[in-house]
Amino acid sequence: MALRENPSSGAGLTRRRALVATLATGAIALPVRPQAARAADRAPDAAPDAPVLDTHPATEPSGTTVRRVGGIGVVFQYGAVLPAFDGWRTREPTRDYLALDGRWRFRFDPDGTGLAAGWQTPDHDDHAWDPIAVPGTWDLLDTPGFGSLDGERFGAGTAFTDGYAWYRTRVRLPASWRGRHVRMNCLAVGYSAEIWLDGVHLGKHEGANSPFSLPVPPEVATGPRTIAVRVFRRAGYVDYTAVPPQPVSDDHEIPYKPVDYWPYAGITRSAWLEAVPEVTLAKLLLTTADGTLTAHAVLENRTAADFAGRLTVAPGRGSGAAAGTVEAAVPAGSAAVVAVRIPVPHAPRWQPSDPRLLTARATLTGAGGQRVDTLSGGYGVREVSVVGSELRLNGVPLFLKGINWHEETAAHGRAMTPHEYDAELAPALDLGVTLLRNCVYNRHPYAYDWADRHGVTMLDDIDTMWLNTAQQRLQTEQYGLARALALTMAWTQHNHPSVILWGLQNESEIDPGGAPVYRAWLADLKAAIRSVDLAARPVTWASSSSNDPAFDLADVIGFNEYFGYFYGADADLGTTLDAVHAKYPDRPILITENGTWSIAGTHGPDTTEGTEEWQAASLRAHWSQVSERAAFVAGYTYWLLKDYKQRAGYNQEYNGVSVMGLTSFATRRPKLAYDAFRQAAPGARHEKG
């Protein structure tokens, strides 16, 4: 039962401010911004007709690092604190925003000559370029029938145009932005992006589904300005319709080779310019435990003078608690962390049956009491723990009814609208889903907010799918992109109560001989997440094997299983679960994937592959074996909610649509497996104990 606010502690308390002790303070000099990495037009030794490959610096281009400040790990990118990205939907009164969503000018650059031709410069004539929507994806510019099952269409259209393409738009930076810190925020650009503002190279970002923020140098004056973005997507194959197709790979990229989901290209999520005070609240990290809200505020001081003032954190309406105030000091040119601890014994708990959300608001004031900056953040009072073989939420053992899902529609690809998110995720509520697995990349912030509001938990994932041993070593010992993706995930989604598990990888290669490379890679990713997640959520991954040699590193053992489809028989799952439990009796187990396939409308015996009856029967068989072992199995996650698009060289006869969903792709028509899954648990939740 959720705790309710005591009426006697009502609104009067929230209007009083108490000076409370600072838990942790500390400051470090802002790191030197890494030299902006740039991609070459084409590798000099590449054949003229070879697929274009991007070039890479020695380490991933954002310079992502974690540094200890005030007793906690703080994530830096591009020489700045990785900020909160709430500006996509909120407007702080101390900040100015310039939305970049809308119509841009667009041109493909198949020969990679745009950079040499000056397409990044403000005086380049782009009037003949085509219009394109931002957010959007160039895959759908000219690909009729993208959502159909007509295989005659596969391989044609802009959905198969790879390499470089350019976006340009013009903005006016207000004169009032002088003397403020300006940054360009992007929620996602696929696969990589280089950005220029009025010809000044701001930087390069790699990773198709993670947000990033590029500081704008102070020397970029206000007034009319041009933004140019060069986007790159590696080809999946030399020829998509060849038999067999020849894959194109790049060991530095993640994923490094074709995978079985669609790699949408372009500025796929919102972008905006943001002007903040030179002494600013960059990030607010919120945790709740033992009836206490702890707010760690990460401050940046970009001035030449030391700052001394106060930080006030209000725990939010409905928390039943008063605001707390602490002294805040930030040396010149430094980042600092100031922490406030506020008792919230009467705050309601966030739980699936009653997902009560609260909003904390931090206000930074100067020595004279003047308001300097504000930043708010949503949170929920809840605790996630692993106790023996149980995964617990607020002390209650969980049995999760999970579903995998891909973020896409036939109309907009990965550039979905809020209405589309509501429509795509509504079936999860109808199905009684209690866990969404964000396979295998971070989602738009709207999806996390949706889960927070609806009481659906999340297993968040990054793009580390099907990495081989050589690439695991490269990422761990040199390039660091996998680590950067993990840090960005844990830092950005830190405050969401719906996120209860972090996923490290999906079906990556396990090297023989004791798997030292594989183990070192996973240990590195887990340590990265642990360094910034103050809530210490459990870590898992979707292994390709039930005999993974690194399971001792996992808090929750997760593996994908396809008994009765790719190997073995449906009935083999139960004995496999028993064997894993016998080896790791103190770990809960989560089935991170299981499923089969059917084409909507295809019927026949439940022993015939591809029929709706066969898909439904397989689901029931696997569910029953898992649910019978709820004492040590934390849940079952079906593959997947809806049919999805992929360019991985199979299902070309279905236009690249993988038909493993509970519903069809474009029309979301339910299959028989949909009803089987809906009936698989008594009600919206099934809890152990």
Q: Give pLDDT tens digits for 4-26.
A: 222 223 333 322 233 333 334 57
Flag the least confident range among 13-22, 397-406, 455-464, 649-658.
13-22
Grouping H, G, I as helix, E, B as strand and the rest as coil, residue 250 is coil
Residue 47 has pLDDT above 70, yes or no: no
Question: For residue 311, what are the β-bridge partners?
Answer: 326, 364
Cβ neighbours for 561, distance < 8 A, ≥ 6 positions apart: 546, 573, 576, 591, 593, 594, 622
From 251, 275, 299, give the residue that closes a domain: 275
Residues 269 and 124 in one domain: yes
- Regarding whether 568 and 539 lie in a shared domain, the answer is no
Distances, alpha carbon 72 to alpha carbons 29, 516, 557, in Å: 15, 29, 27
- Within a domain: residue 392? no
CATH number at residue 247: 2.60.120.260
Question: How many angstroms separate the CA atoms of 478 and 476, rounded?
Answer: 6
CA distance linking residue 665 with residue 677, whole number of Å: 18
**Model confidence at 683: pLDDT above 80:** no
Mean pLDDT of 232-236: 97
Say yes or no to pLDDT of 40 above 80: no
Check if the beta carbon of residue 598 is closer than 8 Å to that of residue 611: yes
CA distance 457 to 434: 6
Q: Which CATH number does the domain housing residue 364 bear? A: 2.60.40.10
Q: What is d(CA 227, CA 274) in angstroms, rounded to the nearest whole number?
A: 14
Q: Which residue range forms the structural domain that includes residue 523? A: 434-560
Residue 8, pLDDT score: 29
Average pLDDT over residues 536-564: 98
Domain ends where: 534, 560, 586?
560
Q: What is the mean pLDDT of residues 297-307?
A: 98
CA distance 492 to 77: 13
**Residue bearing the bigger pLDDT, 524 or 18:** 524
pLDDT confidence of residue 38:
62
* Residue 44 is assigned to a structural domain of this protein: no
CB 333 within 8 A of CB 302: yes
Do 539 and 596 sit in the same domain of this protein?
A: no
Whether residue 635 lies inside any domain: the answer is yes
Residues ≥6 apart with Cβ < 8 Å to 91: 97
Q: What is the mean pLDDT of residues 237-255?
A: 95
Clarify whether residues 516 and 632 are in a common domain. no
User: What confidence tens digit (pLDDT) does each residue in 96-152 have?
Assistant: 999 999 999 999 999 999 999 999 999 999 999 999 999 999 999 999 999 999 999
Q: Taking phi first (over 0 means left), then psi (-120 to 50 degrees means alpha), and beta for anything else, what does residue 432 get?
A: left
Residues 493 and 577 reside in one and the same domain: no
- Is residue 648's pLDDT more than 70? yes
User: Are 142 and 265 members of one domain?
Assistant: yes
pLDDT tier at 48, thresholds 50, 70, 90: low
Whether 185 is covered by a domain: the verdict is yes
Can you give the C-alpha Rg of the chain in angstroms? 25
Distance in angstroms (rounded) separating the CA atoms of residues 647 and 666:
17
Among 231, 249, 275, the domain boundary falls at 275
> Does some domain include residue 85?
no
Q: How many domains, the chain?
A: 4
Residues 287, 250: one domain? no
279 pLDDT above the threshold of 50: yes
Residue 72 lies in a domain: no
- Tokens 């929230």 locate to 14
Strands (E), 507-646: 539-542, 557-560, 589-593, 633-638, 644-645
The pLDDT value given to residue 25: 55
**Residue 497 domain-assigned?**
yes
Asked whether residue 270 falls in the same domain as residue 415, the answer is no
pLDDT at residue 130, as a whole number: 98
Q: 524 Cβ partners below 8 Å, 6+ apart?
A: 476, 482, 483
- Give the confidence band of 33 by pLDDT, cuts at 50, 70, 90: confident
Q: Of 216-230, 275-289, 562-576, which range is least confident?
A: 216-230
Residues 123 and 209 in one domain: yes
Q: What is the CATH number of the domain that holds 521?
A: 3.20.20.80
Instruction: Verify that 149 and 254 share a domain, yes or no.
Output: yes
On whether both 136 and 251 belong to a single domain, the answer is yes
Residue range 378-388: mean pLDDT, rounded: 98
In a domain, 80, yes or no: no
Average pLDDT score over residue span 217-238: 94
pLDDT for the residue 44: 47
- Tell me what the pLDDT averaged over the chain comes to: 93
**300 and 341: one domain?**
yes
Chain center to CA of 545: 24
